[in-house]
Amino acid sequence: MAGPPLFFIHGMWSTPATFVRLRARLEGLGYRTHAPALPYHDRDASLPPPPELGVLTVEDYARFLVAEIGRLGEPPVIIGHSMGGMLAQIVAARVAHAGLVLLSTAATATTPAVGIGPLRTVGKVLLDWGWWREPTLIEPEPALWGIYNGVPDAVARAEVAALVWDSGRVMAEMLLPNLSKTGATKVDYARLDKPALVIVGCEDRITLPQISRSTARKLRGQVDYHEIPGASHWLFWGETETRVGDWLAGWLGQFTP
């Protein structure tokens, strides 16, 4: 099977391991996949985080991803989860791409949603003075409540143990987009006119379903939109992951001869 390359972007505190099973399934269908680690996200969280990570910006992440896509040689389908979904939109507005897949996407500057769930999930991070200029790492219990709710405990705790340090500056730009001097999370939606697949869990507590609904309305291309009853932010386990993979594989069929 021929088709465009698939370029995966992971989320905050996460790594490309998020997509291991999805990539294997799609590679088995003949697709070429690429999933780079964002800067410093290949560093074990048991090691002290490099201080420079804390001040990396959304723009730093976006430029890194644009450069990585430039090495592919042809327009990819860009697939992002959580923060990676936000980054996917920012990057897709800058590069030639075949399509866009947003899984539990985080908000851009124009798709915010207000709720107690996100604050409860990241609240302990925000209590550490100076968090906006330092590396951050979410604690296990808030992560279990807000990211892995509904996921079997053994699976969820293994995922929490694999989380890594991330940028406080990036979190600040995501939470307070109007305070960013560079408009870090603004997106030119007029440029997002390719086919898109948007998937979110109805019980997502950190990137609320309202964000995905608002995003789907702003995209200019044909949008295939799905909400999964009972599913949380973490879509990568069991029947939920199988369903996501089914939708993704079927949707990608439009790009093959």
Report the CATH number at residue 124.
3.40.50.1820
Average pLDDT over residues 159-170: 97
Domain boundaries, position 249: 6-255
Q: Give a yes or no: residue 222 inside a domain.
A: yes
Q: Give a yes or no: residue 212 inside a domain.
A: yes
User: Where are any strands of DSSP class E within the chain?
Assistant: 6-9, 33-34, 77-81, 99-103, 135-136, 166-167, 196-201, 223-228
Q: What percentage of the chain exceeds 90 in pLDDT?
A: 92
Q: Give a yes or no: residue 152 inside a domain.
A: yes
Higher-confidence position of 180 and 127: 127
Q: Give a yes or no: residue 108 inside a domain.
A: yes
C-alpha to C-alpha distances, 36 to 9, 47, 232, nearest whole angstrom: 7, 20, 24
pLDDT digits (tens, 9 = 90+) for 33-50: 999 999 999 998 889 999
What total number of domains does the chain contain? 1
Average pLDDT over residues 88-105: 98
Q: Give a yes or no: residue 1 inside a domain.
A: no
Cα separation, 257 vs 181, whole angstroms = 45
What's the sign of the alpha-carbon dihedral 138, 139, 143, 146?
negative
Give residue 193's pLDDT band: very low, low, confident or very high (50, 70, 90): very high
Q: Give a yes or no: residue 182 inside a domain.
A: yes
pLDDT exceeds 80 at position 62: yes
Higher-confidence position of 179 and 125: 125
Give residue 155's pLDDT band: very low, low, confident or very high (50, 70, 90): very high
Contact 79, 101 (CB under 8 A): yes
Give residue 139's pLDDT band: very low, low, confident or very high (50, 70, 90): very high
Give residue 95's pLDDT band: very low, low, confident or very high (50, 70, 90): very high
Average pLDDT over residues 108-135: 94
Cα separation, 130 vs 239, whole angstroms = 40
Q: What percentage of the chain exceeds 70 in pLDDT?
A: 97
Q: Which helix (H) or strand (E) holds 156?
A: helix 153-161
Q: What pLDDT, on the 0 to 100 scale, is given for residue 179?
A: 65
Question: What is the distance, to the nearest Å, from the Cα of residue 131 to the centroid of all Cα atoms in its chain?
Answer: 21
The average confidence (pLDDT) of the chain is 95
Q: What pLDDT, on the 0 to 100 scale, is given for residue 257?
A: 67
Contact 31, 6 (CB under 8 A): yes
pTM of the model: 0.97
